[in-house]
Amino acid sequence: MGKSRILVIGATGYIGKFIAKASARLGHPTFILVRPDTTAVPNSARKALLDSFTAAGITILHGDVGDHGSILAALKQVDVVISAIASSSILDQLKLIDAIKEVGHIKRFLPSEFGVDVERVTDVPAVRAVFKPKVKIRTALRESGIPYTLVNSNTFAAYFVPTLGQEGLEAPPRDKVTILGDGNAKAIYVDEDDIGTITVKSVDDPRTLNKQLVIRPPTNVLSFNELVEIWEKKIGHTLKKSYIPQSTLRKQLDELPFPKVIFPAILYSIYVAGDELFELGPEDAQAIELYPDFEYKTVSSLLDKFV
């Protein structure tokens, strides 16, 4: 049997582009669903991205999850659907689930997860509220009977590591750093290109069917204090550190309105509550065990670019 035909929805978004390109690179007939207004008058960056998809052999389909006819037409051309829909549109996947049920032949659906396990986050109201839509999609997906894989990819390394998570910077700080909480909670950093590759590897793998695929490279399981220490060793001096207490962060979460609370809640979940490191269960499949020969980009190598 040939490789599955893959449809990536949200391919022009942040993590979606890595998934779409990995799909094509790994030899899957790859399709992306793009809204007509995206290609009508694209800006230069968007045009360059679309051109790179075409150069990679990716087929661009026009449509929208909210347009039932266009999504059905797209689904009829593929075997697997990977959603990388943005957080603000997560619940649109309910329409996608309905369409997948209608066509009836899709052999795997990967909803837009690509972060923490939303059912294992800390019991902080603001954090729970932010992840509630993804929990709703999980529930609907399980009830639908559609074959699925959930991707627990943890922290986007190329997004957070180059700035040590410091707002407004484009490179790691060389003088001072602000640390949330005590800096001891463990986070798991995974390079975005690696996330794309592992995600695509899982789509035809029976071992990930109706499982959560946990991407947890051991060398990249680090506390924030350990992350800062790696950088300090590379530049040869110690950064001045300031800490924001957990109680202060909790108070901020309680006071922030939606949607402004989304990003701070995610940071709290990762860097204060340590939600990414949990005990694995029978519904979890570990990527490092399934694909032992895969070499992940390390946090250290990402920081080397800035020395």
Catalytic residues: 134
SS (H, E, C) 146-170: CCEEEEECCEEHHHHHHHCCCCCCC
Q: Which residues contact 207 (CB under 8 A, 6 or more apart)?
A: 285, 290
H-run or E-run covering 287: helix 287-290
Residue pair 298/242 in contact (Cβ under 8 Å)? The answer is no
Q: Long-range contacts for 91-97 (Cβ within 8 Å, ≥24 apart)?
A: 91/133, 91/136, 91/137, 92/65, 92/66, 93/65, 93/137, 94/136, 94/137, 94/140, 95/65, 95/66, 95/68, 95/71, 96/9, 96/65, 96/71, 97/137, 97/140, 97/141, 97/144, 97/146
C-alpha dist (Å) from residue 27 to 3, 23, 24, 194, 201: 7, 7, 5, 16, 11
